[in-house]
Amino acid sequence: MIRSVMVMNTQGKPRLAKFYDFQPVEKQQELIRSVFGVLCSRAENVSNFLEADSIFGPDSRLVYKHYATLYFVLVFDSSENELAMLDLIQVFVETLDKCFKNVCELDLVFNYCKMHTIIDEIIFGGQVLETSSTEVMKAIEEISKLETASNSISLVPKSVSGWRTR
Amino acid sequence: MEQLKTIGRELAMGSQGGFGQSKEFLDLVKSIGEARSKAEEDRIVLHEIETLKRRIAEPDIPKRKMKEYIIRLVYVEMLGHDASFGYIHAVKMTHDDSLLLKRTGYLAVTLFLNEDHDLIILIVNTIQKDLKSDNYLVVCAALNAVCRLINEETIPAVLPQVVELLGHAKEGVRKKAIMALHRFHHKSPSSVSHLVSNFRKRLCDNDPGVMGATLCPLFDLISVDVNSYKDLVVSFVSILKQVAERRLPKGYDYHQMPAPFIQIRLLKILALLGSGDKLASENMYTVIGDIFRKCDSSSNIGNAVLYECICCVSSIYPNPKLLEAAAEVISRFLKSDSHNLKYLGIDALGRLIKISPEIAEQHQLAVIDCLEDPDDTLKRKTFELLYKMTKSSNVEVIVNRMIDYMISINDNHYKTYIASRCVELAEQFAPSNHWFIQTMNKVFEHAGDLVNIKVAHNLMRLIAEGFGEDDDAADSQLRSSAVESYLLIIGEPKLPSVFLQVICWVLGEYGTADGKYSASYITGKLCDVAESYSNDETVKAYAVTAIMKIYAFEIAAGRKVDMLDECQSLVEELSASNSTDLQQRAYELQAVISLDARAVESIMPSDASCEDIEIDGNLSFLNSYVQQALENGAQPYIPESERSGMLNISNFRSQDQLEVSMHGLRFEAYELPKPPVPSRIPPPLLAPSAELVPVSEPSYSRETHQVATVPSVSDSGSLELKLRLDGVQRKWGKPTYSSPSSSTSNSTSQNTVNGTTTQVDGASNVNSKARTTYDSRRPQVEISPEKQKLAASLFGGSSQTEKRPTLASHKAAKASSHAAEKSQAPKAVVVSNEVTVEKTNHQPPPDLLDLGEPTVTTSSAPLVDPFKQLEGLLDSTQVTSTVNHGATESPDIISLYANTPASVQSSSAEISVPSNKDDINVTSTLATQFIKGPNPKDALEKDALVRQLGVTPSSQNPNLFRDLLG
């Protein structure tokens, strides 16, 4: 099962932190810090895998990928396949890219909520739910459409919502 | 252009508040982003919290505004600040009718609350309602919350609704409902145990996505109980077949791979189901073989599936063809430039060598490369592999490598781990006592505070007991080498406490045993230790007891003891110590010194730490005293059982009277003159001289007590001349005072101290166990069957201590490296081949130092080093000595071994012929010389065959290098 999804920038600021087993706020911060501590000390061109027993307890592995200014991190146990998890990060990033057109850190900062929606469509309760970014996009679009419809008091101009679902 | 786009987007959001966010929020995010320090960021966030607290409490906030506040709260909490004041508002938001607000509310509560939070009770109702909603998005949002917020007690509240959703029209909802059930199973297996059939049913869902989701809970269920799901093997295989044959809709393809995540799940499940089950495994062979063939190894996900196939193949009942395919993939992984693939290759190798040990040797160089790699993850994985491959022939190389790495890292968690691994390997495979002690010294020196104290106790016990042979000379040599090495190390600053304890104990026990060092020299060293680690009480206690022992041995040997000044002052200091333990030890030391030689010898016999002490539970040595007392008119002893029985018979009137009479009896017992006194006198000395009995001389009791407090190596193996009063109390007092298992009686006559009697209890069992595990030459009975199997299949049986291997293999390696250089040059092979034959036949006994020598070869420089590393791995061939094999092998190992060879050999035959080229062939021919089979006859035959083949350079007999590496 997947234990946690984290996105943080190269300065160690968290951009997204989701734990599938509850962690109190302080513990979350500590985990993010220690993960960042390990990641930033790793050289380029080494493997994307880490044994994370010392941070997350026994039987935990960590897969990370470095994109521009961001680290995408997945923590999981032995019931998942490392390479597949690496591809799951890929799926996530691809989806973000489709969603925001050339995604950059700024998009994630300002669309915090949306990022959560996306990750919820990919990983559900610690299990992989969907691995096709097209499918995820479809689901996201549907959600946005219905949300706008139900939200009668939405003041968002049409042009923006059009941009959003483009 | 790109920048312009970004700026434009930013502007758009800034002015219009993308997704309904206000300028305020964007400003917050921006200012946090620009904060230069953590303190500045904290200040901004705290200010934000203040604002939010104020705003959120205002009445009549527009809903849209409220939503934004909630998101800001989530953001604040992600940055590590407490936002609990807003939780209730998030909970309220989940009640909202608007989908947008509801989703935001659910998102916030799933991030804020844990399943045991008090507010959950307010949400359960909403969840129940939402699970029944017509809008499937509401249902999905609620299911998402269910996964996170429902605990064991609230599961029943939502379970019916969730189960109902298994039949929902939307496949997305069905999928999520299954996963929610899976989550319930995770939290409390009993709550959904009656629903297992639902998972089976959903396996046949029309939608492949739902079927894929079902595999997750099934995987968990199967890993708990394999046997109840054997019937599904056929279904799983046919599903996997369909997936692999691209029968699923195109939408499930990922990077041109058909539903790879489903394939991976299925392979994992098959691995579980096929493990050790030949029948089930046979169903799987075809489909796995197909996947091996079809899988696209250029993409990441393709390799993920291939890796999973290897895992599956190594788990199910072995099939030679599949093993061959797996070995091929592994070699591709290892040869790849990607560190990720190398990592998986090493991991897969570790899995596969259990079944076919011969594949490891093809990849020796790759493994060594990974060991040298700067990537820590890869390095650790490689150590894992080496750990699996360790045997007595290569243990030195591997453990030394591990220790070097251990010294180089700072990560305490991993340091502890690898230190325990080193200890484990050293205990199991140590080729010599000396090496073992040196290795343990290194481990203690560099990771002493991280290793388990038991390891230290084991080491002490080992030194005390020797290696279990009845060779006193070897034992004393071991001890003096230990003493010497400790005297060298003791001067070094900042040694770990555990290590110092070992040092002190060994010096105290054996420091003066061989007469090389004077008592004053050793005690001086011990005083230094006690002084320089003055705030470590345990070390001080060990040191002062060690000093006492040394003096006691001196006195017993009839020499005069002059206490050193520093020692004197140490004792004085300790006798005023805050710690009563230290005080007592100091007084004991003083008391012992003032005794005469005979008394000292009996309380502190030299080198008796591992003698067993016989416990005379009947206290028979007191018989004469009892007899005398009876003659003098004392009442005979009546056991309490009889006593109460008598009472029951004689006093059957009322409870009160019973009590009274019991009082009466006890009272009488107290009046007996001196029963407890004799117990305090050490019997070896005094039992014969009965007239001394009534004198309870304080100094005697002190002595005996002293002995009892000598720090024991462990509870068992030490010199336990303990005098415990409870043994006596048992005779006269209430039975509750004595616990038979722990009481050591005072009947330690000289005979038993010299130790022919063995007392079979837990302690001595431990001893013997330790002994056998230390002794690499014995079959390792204590090792788990799995390890035995591994050992047997890896190394062809229990390894013998090498008599002439290292150098020989060294040359062999040299020669092979030499030959490998000029690969495909048959003549070179022949030549080097003959050289090796000669060398191996006339090798002197092992010269371990030779390992360090620079290898003089004609091969190029980079080649030399890896091969040096390899020697340790290579020389296993000689180690499996034919003659002793049958004798030392315990029967079960043989039978275990007998299970594998057929398949292993055939598989090796198939694997190696096509896959290895030039250099491997060369090594194989070289290895021929050393091949020894699992039994003498086999080996002779093989040897003959080998000799025959050895001269023909073209020989490609794959069996020949099977033993090369493992």
Three-state secondary structure string covering B596-616: CHHHHHHHCCCCCCCCCCCCC
Based on the domain organization, do B599 and B625 belong to the same domain? no
Q: Does the domain at residues A2-165 carry the CATH identifier 3.30.450.60?
A: yes
Phi, psi (rounded to 5 degrees) for B150: -95, 130
Task: Give residues 10 to 29 of B whose Cβ lies within 8 Å of A.
Answer: 10, 12-13, 16, 18-21, 26, 29
Of B81, B180, B343, the CB nearest to A47: B343
Q: Name B275's bridge partners.
A: B316
| CB contact A40 to B (< 8 Å) | no
DSSP state of B578: S
Q: Which residues of A touch B74 (CB under 8 A)?
A: 112
Of A26, A102, A131, the CB nearest to B254: A131
Q: Which residues of A touch B144 (CB under 8 A)?
A: 120, 124-125
Q: Name B258's bridge partners.
A: B253
Based on the domain organization, do B436 and B536 belong to the same domain? yes
Based on the domain organization, do B718 and B814 belong to the same domain? no
Which residue range is the domain that position B821 belongs to?
Answer: 787-965
When scoring A83, A131, A156 by the number of chain B Cβ atoms within 10 A, the one with the most, hence best to mutate, is: A83
Phi, psi (rounded to 5 degrees) for B222: -70, -35
Q: Using the beta-carbon criterion (under 8 Å), do A156 and B380 form an inter-chain contact? A: no
Q: Which residues of B touch A24 (CB under 8 A)?
A: 114
Q: Name A8's bridge partners.
A: A14, A71
Task: Give residues 71 to 110 of A whose Cβ lies within 8 Å of B.
Answer: 79, 81-84, 86-87, 90-91, 102, 104, 106-107, 109-110
Query: Which stretches of B677-825 are DSSP H helices?
Result: 683-686, 698-709, 726-732, 750-753, 762-774, 785-795, 805-821
Of B183, B223, B374, the CB nearest to A46: B374
In the block, residue with structure tokens 């309904």: B20
Based on the domain organization, do B710 and B564 belong to the same domain? no
Cβ atoms of B384 and B422 closer than 8 Å: no
Based on the domain organization, do B881 and B798 belong to the same domain? yes
| B321: in domain | no
Of B113, B254, B308, the CB nearest to A81: B308
> How far from the centroid of its chain's Cα atoms is residue B325's Cα?
32
Based on the domain organization, do B697 and B629 belong to the same domain? yes
Q: Using the beta-carbon criterion (under 8 Å), do A134 and B264 form an inter-chain contact? A: no
CA B457, B458, B459: angle at the middle one, nearest 5?
A: 90
> How far from the centroid of its chain's Cα atoms is residue A34's Cα?
18
Q: Which residues of B touch A133 (CB under 8 A)?
A: none
When scoring A113, A119, A133 by the number of chain B Cβ atoms within 10 A, the one with the most, hence best to mutate, is: A113
For residue A82, give the nearest of B341, B605, B788 by alpha carbon. B341
Task: Give residues 798 to 837 of B whose Cβ lies within 8 Å of A.
Answer: none
Q: Give Dmax (Cα) for chain A.
A: 51
Based on the domain organization, do B805 and B949 belong to the same domain? yes
| CB contact A147 to B (< 8 Å) | yes
| CB contact A68 to B (< 8 Å) | no
d(CA B85, CA B396): 61
d(CA B223, CA B755): 51
Length of chain B: 966
Q: Give the pLDDT of residue B612.
A: 65
Q: In a 10 Å sphere around its CB, with 0-12 CB exposed, 13-18 middle and 19+ buried, how is residue B61 labelled?
A: middle
When scoring B36, B103, B107 by the number of chain A Cβ atoms within 10 A, the one with the most, hence best to mutate, is: B103
Q: Could you tell me the two tokens for B144?
A: 């998402």
Cβ atoms of B776 and B799 closer than 8 Å: yes
d(CA A96, CA A117): 11
Of B18, B78, B101, the CB nearest to A160: B18
Q: Using the beta-carbon criterion (under 8 Å), do B29 and A110 form an inter-chain contact? A: yes
Q: Give the pLDDT of residue B284.
A: 92
Secondary structure, 3-state, B896-939 = HHHHCHHHHHHHHHHHHHHHCCHHHHHHHHHHHHHCCCCCHHHH
| CB contact A153 to B (< 8 Å) | yes
Based on the domain organization, do B726 and B817 belong to the same domain? no
d(CA B723, CA B630): 25
For residue B807, give the nearest of B871, B867, B884 by alpha carbon. B871
| Angstrom distances, CA of residue B260 to CA of B212, B251, B302, B330, B443 | 10, 12, 8, 19, 45
Model ipTM value: 0.88
Q: In a 10 Å sphere around its CB, with 0-12 CB exposed, 13-18 middle and 19+ buried, how is residue B654 labelled?
A: exposed
Q: Could you tell me the two tokens for B601?
A: 């010898």
| CB contact B160 to A (< 8 Å) | no
Based on the domain organization, do B759 and B795 belong to the same domain? no
d(CA B530, CA B569): 11
Cβ atoms of B18 and A110 closer than 8 Å: yes
For residue B876, give the nearest of B940, B819, B941, B808 by alpha carbon. B808
Cβ atoms of B706 and B591 closer than 8 Å: yes
Of B6, B304, B378, the CB nearest to A47: B378
Instruction: Compute the 3-state secondary structure of chain A and give helix, strand, coil in percent, each to the nearest 5.
Output: 50, 20, 30
Q: Could you tell me the two tokens for B851?
A: 């390992």
Q: Using the beta-carbon criterion (under 8 Å), do A130 and B252 form an inter-chain contact? A: no
Q: Using the beta-carbon criterion (under 8 Å), do A83 and B79 form an inter-chain contact? A: no
Cα dihedral value B53, B56, B58, B61, nearest 10: 160
CA B147, B151, B157: angle at the middle one, nearest 5?
A: 90
Based on the domain organization, do B961 and B844 belong to the same domain? yes
Q: What is the CA radius of gyration of chain B?
A: 37
Q: Torsion-angle region of residue B515: left (phi > 0), alpha (psi -120 to 50) or beta?
A: left
Based on the domain organization, do B735 and B880 belong to the same domain? no
Local mean pLDDT, 10-residue blocks, chain B (966 residues): 49 43 78 82 90 87 86 88 89 88 90 88 90 90 90 90 90 91 90 86 87 91 90 92 89 86 93 91 92 87 93 92 91 90 92 84 83 88 89 86 88 86 86 83 83 82 71 78 86 84 88 81 87 86 88 83 83 86 88 82 71 71 85 81 60 47 50 50 42 41 42 41 43 43 40 41 41 39 44 36 36 41 41 42 42 40 45 44 41 44 41 40 40 49 49 38 37
SS3 A76: strand
Based on the domain organization, do B655 and B705 belong to the same domain? yes
Cβ atoms of B69 and B58 closer than 8 Å: no
Q: Using the beta-carbon criterion (under 8 Å), do A46 and B13 form an inter-chain contact? A: no
Cβ atoms of B898 and B904 closer than 8 Å: no
Q: Give Dmax (Cα) for chain B.
A: 116
Q: Are strands A123-124 and A49-51 parallel, antiparallel or unpaired?
A: unpaired
| CB contact A69 to B (< 8 Å) | no
Q: Provide the residue type at B951 as one letter.
A: V
Q: What is the DSSP string of B547-564?
A: HHHHHHHHHHTT------
Cβ atoms of B123 and B109 closer than 8 Å: yes
Q: Give the pLDDT of residue A86.
A: 93
Of B18, B223, B255, the CB nearest to A111: B18
| Angstrom distances, CA of residue B814 to CA of B123, B389, B863, B959 | 73, 22, 10, 21
Q: What is the DSSP string of B815-871?
A: HHHHHHHTTT-HHHHHHHHHHHHHHHHTPPSP-GGGGGSPP--SS-HHHHHHHHHHH
CA B652, B657, B660: angle at the middle one, nearest 5?
A: 130
Task: Give residues 669 to 708 of B whose Cβ lies within 8 Å of A.
Answer: none
Q: Which residues of B touch A157 (CB under 8 A)?
A: 16
| B277: in domain | no
Q: Which residues of A touch B62 (CB under 8 A)?
A: 153
Of A17, A50, A116, the CB nearest to B377: A50
| CB contact A12 to B (< 8 Å) | no
The model's pTM is 0.64
Residue B462 sits in a domain of what CATH number? 1.25.10
| CB contact B251 to A (< 8 Å) | yes
d(CA B222, CA B210): 18
| B875: in domain | yes
DSSP state of B96: -
Residue B447, CB-side half-sphere exposure with 13 Å CA sphere: 30
Among B570, B603, B636, where does a domain finish?
Answer: B603
d(CA B592, CA B556): 11
CA B324, B330, B331: angle at the middle one, nearest 5?
A: 95
Task: Give residues 368 to 407 of B whose Cβ lies within 8 Å of A.
Answer: 374-378, 380
DSSP state of A75: E
Q: Using the beta-carbon criterion (under 8 Å), do A25 and B251 form an inter-chain contact? A: no
Q: Could you tell me the two tokens for B546?
A: 């060690």
| CB contact B73 to A (< 8 Å) | no
| CB contact A127 to B (< 8 Å) | yes
When scoring B340, B410, B421 by the number of chain A Cβ atoms within 10 A, the one with the most, hence best to mutate, is: B340
Length of chain A: 166
Measured between CA atoms, how close is B238 to chain A, in angstroms? 22
d(CA B261, CA B263): 5
Q: Which residues of B touch A126 (CB under 8 A)?
A: 147, 183
Residue B95, CB-side half-sphere exposure with 13 Å CA sphere: 9
pLDDT in tens, A54-104: 889 888 999 999 998 899 999 999 899 999 999 999 999 999 999 888 888
Among B708, B738, B768, where does a domain finish?
Answer: B768
Of B251, B303, B304, the CB nearest to A132: B251
Cβ atoms of A55 and A35 closer than 8 Å: yes
Measured between CA atoms, how close is B341 to chain A, in angstroms? 8
Q: Using the beta-carbon criterion (under 8 Å), do A17 and B78 form an inter-chain contact? A: yes
Q: Using the beta-carbon criterion (under 8 Å), do A87 and B254 form an inter-chain contact? A: yes
Neighbours of B894 (CB within 10 A): 16
In the block, residue with structure tokens 């008598």: B646
d(CA B692, CA A115): 90
Q: Give the pLDDT of residue B917.
A: 42
Of B80, B183, B376, the CB nearest to A25: B80
Cβ atoms of A97 and A140 closer than 8 Å: no
Q: Could you tell me the two tokens for B965?
A: 């590496």
d(CA B135, CA B143): 13
| Angstrom distances, CA of residue B568 to CA of B417, B506, B526, B537, B546 | 42, 22, 12, 18, 14
Our separate counts of H helices and E strands in chain B read 51, 2
SS3 B316: strand
d(CA B683, CA A77): 62
In the block, residue with structure tokens 């076919």: B356
